[in-house]
Structure 1
Amino acid sequence: MDADTLRAILDAQAMQQQKAFDAQAMQRQMRHQKTLDAVMERMERMFSAMGATPAGAPASTAEFVTNSLSTRLPEFTYDPDSGCRFDVWYNRYEDIIANDGSTLDDAAKARLIVSKLDAATYARFTNHILPKKTFDVSLDETVKILKELFGHDTSVFARRYAYLRTQRNDETIRDYTGLVNRHREMAEFNDVTPEQMKCLVWICGLANPEDADIRVRDLRKMENNPQTTLKELSAEIQQFVDTRCQALRKPAIINTVWYVSQRRPHWAKDCDFANKTCHDCKRVGHKKGYCKNFTSKKKPIPKQKRRSANNVVTARPKLLPPLVSLKSANNTEINVRGHFNCNFNIDGHEGRGNCHEADTTSLLGLDWIAQDEPLFRRLTKGAICNVSASKLNTLRTSLTKQLQKQFVTVFAPGLGRCVKSKAHLALKPDAKPVFGKARPVPYAALPRISQEIDRLVAADVLSPIDHSDWAAPIVVVQKISPTLRRLLYWTERRTQATPAPTSNA
């Protein structure tokens, strides 16, 4: 299936869903309009009977409509993992706010929307618009800011990539169908061009774990430049792969050597010193030291073994026995091979000292740093010599109070609750419910057990139910303190659970 066919199918599905949604919205709008007309007619009759002035009626009507809409609209809570975003919430209730609240002005509609934000969302919104107040922001600007703050936490191309990789895990067929529809709306596939579709399919094909950095680089490239073609994308990635391969390649080892060069015997006509003047006899034809009229005053040098032209002299000094014993930060011994005395140069400042060779990274000691006065002064200029701990307890107490005030729920007594993820229990397809009977407990422990169960229910650790096909007995564990008891939930080892994946599976 090519990209054009896939896009045509997706557009047809989107059109059908839009038509169904428009029909439902129209029916809902007609029902709301009839209800509002009936309410307005009843209010007019009531105002006529009470002799209300025309000037007071509009204010009472606006207040009544605001209260009615506030009752009907649910509170908005931001939860991107569950799809609870402001754009979804506003698209659902925009028709109600616009039509049923047609008698309200934009400022009243903005106040209505802000009033439906929960505490955390409202605090984040008000902090974002500072130094302005909520009544200083118009309706359109309020909706725009809320969509930016409480919208998608991923880029559009990342959502499209996730949509193309949607898979069914443990959902039912209907839930999986709804998941595909929701991901499709989140991916904004109506705006996808053929080149973007080819790039997305190309990125989806990079499924190997070693291509993870390439996938991230591709998505970032598409996000920065949506008009990127597949040819440009592949060329850039090929250049990136080539550069990475060259960087990971081990460089060739080049050793600095001293090449000893010796000239061979030559004829007199080929001598380079034929026109040189001797400093001893003042004659032309030979250099100093080869004059036959004077005897050399230097002591004869004993004949040494002739060195060939390929001799190499290395500059590796001889190691002396180690002078120090070293340990790492985790108290592990560091092997010290030895030391040697050498001259060194640091940024043009020369010095001399001992160099210790050990199985560790290269470190510059204080004895060498002290010989470089500018470096030593730069390192010790901002050193802290005295530390005062007189205000430590006061600072610790104020910091504790500040954290307790800022994070009240964290320091509240009782257990916390994880709302970011949900646990799922996977059973085998042929698993059968097992109902374990309760174990007998001492009569004297019944009140304490009931009290412990009530405490766990109050802390939302346990939830009471009327019936269950699964059940397991509990065991009472007595602690050292006579006033504290804890329930240990115990189940026999069953084979109903799905085995955890292993490296061999």
Structure 2
Amino acid sequence: MPTVAPEIRELLQQQSESLQATLEMLTRLLAPRTAENRQPSMDNLANNISEFCYDPDNGSTFDAWFTRYEDIFTIECGQMEDAAKVRLVLRKLNISAHQKYINFILPKKPNDIGFAETVKRLKDMFGRQRSLFSTRYQCLKLAKRDCDDFITYAGMVNRECDQFQLNALTEDQFKCLVFVSGLQSATDSEIRLRLLSKMETDADVTIQALIEECRRITSLNQDAILVAGASPKESEPFINAVAREAKLITLRPSMTKRMKKGHGNIDGRRPVSADGTAAKEPPSPKPKTPCWLCGAMHFVRNCPFKLHKCRRCGGTGHKEGYCEKQSKGTRREGYCGRSNRSTRTTHRVNSVTGDSIAVHRRFVSVTVLDHQIRFRIDTGSDLTLLTRKTWKRLGIPRLSAVDTQAKDVSGNQIEILGQLRCSFTFGDRMVTAKCYVPQHVSCDLLGVELIEKLGIYDTPINATYGITRSQGTTKTNGLSTKTKVSSLFTERRLPSYPALVNTGLGLCSKVKASLHLKPEAKPIFRPKRPVPYAAIAQVDTELDRLENLGIISKVSHSNWAAPIVVVKKANGSFRICADFSTGLNSMLELHQYPLPTPEDLFTVLNGGRLFSKLDFADAYLQVEVEDDSKELLTINTHRGLYRYNRLPFGLIYPAQWPT
């Protein structure tokens, strides 16, 4: 075996070492490139992430968005640097959110903040902007919607209960939550705001602390009123027309002598003319002694502490330190020296009497709880008032606590028994509003709220249906014609028969309408006609009204169908008429009925003295249809098929109604 020369052996050794070094260099060079190939590109990652749009009302917050794509940032982008992750997050913000964040971190730049800090700031900026109380309150008000299934509703419950933080809720916190949630009156708005602030700043607050805070705020408000004076606010509702009953006063000789000289009325007031003008009155008198309820120099009827609850004795109607037990026998000692006379003042809601003025009043008949009530139109009254007599006539419905204070035009507070929320119907409008029952009121007043809701402002007041003048005497060509007969009949007799003057839809109980087809008649089914998008809501409302009244009924199948025609009436509402001219009218046998001539009518009316005009509202709809004929009266609407139960408009069957 030939021997290898040492030179060749050394050369081979060098080549082997060189090859080994080359392989190691290639391994080092190719290793990072392989890792880069495994790492997805920025564009691929951005395409898999949707854009973030901040909408807290619908639950679109940054916390919810980041939870959805958190695995992409922690796993797929695990090898990326923080700067690259920050660029990816900011890249998926919409324009408004991105600009808001850039302005918030100035003078810093996005690359100066780490990824974890960036996510934390974005969660704070674009998170839920609700307090813990608001979150818990909304959770208690959660209700299932008609469009949600039970799985969706259960998910909403889980989400709201998780945000409710049940584990951190204590017994005192739950009591405070229920306590503040019940303060829904407008008079408690300031107290409610203070209590919410206290609950937000002090998590360990108790219900006893809230009660003490309420008492403190109430006492401060009373002190503020005492300092500023109990002057009426402009924002408080008031009653425009107010009169005062005559005072029961024992006349002195000097007063009688003054009356004979023509210096005024019994109570010292200047006379008032028909146009409402009066001479300048002297300044309001001041009391001789301080008020026994608070010690201030004003009359007791103007004392702001009449409804105040004393913290010493627990009584109501006086300030602390003026309790009856402590100052019995001394509170009214300043009034012992007054003359022996009895005085009683009652505030009544009415106006100046007199035929020359009363004739200009306007009254309107409004249906309240199926009773016809005659209201006086008063555009100067913020509230609608019912007399106690009317309230009893309505059946003495239950009154709720009053949420406002009423004052007359002079600033005197009116005593109100309670408020009632009920329906008011005038013409074809029915609204729900509040009315008030005062202690002393002489007539039913229609306030500005109901005047606007019932549409009385929309047309001239004399042209509005149902509005009448007050009772009086009208003169024509020098002759006096009394109008009291019709007015008294309308005011006194008609309300005694509510069924005759009911504004609701009537029903003829004597006969039912029946339709007869020709022998060669065949069923005709017409498709529905499109309804303008702007009128869909009004048409749906009218369909619901007809269905609730029992005029139409929903059906799923019919051999007959006619399209509808939507007609807009003068008052803005819509009337739905069936277009039976598309087939049904030509298939019906006509019902013959002889119409009377004018000569026949005049002969019957000869010798009459009192005449009345009957105007049947929706006259056709007051006649019920036989069951066998209802299928013929099917209409095709955008909501499906409906079948008429009453005689509809558009049917060529006019003689069926007068018979």
Taking structure 1 as the reference length, the TM-score comes to 0.39
More helix by share: 1
More strand by share: 2
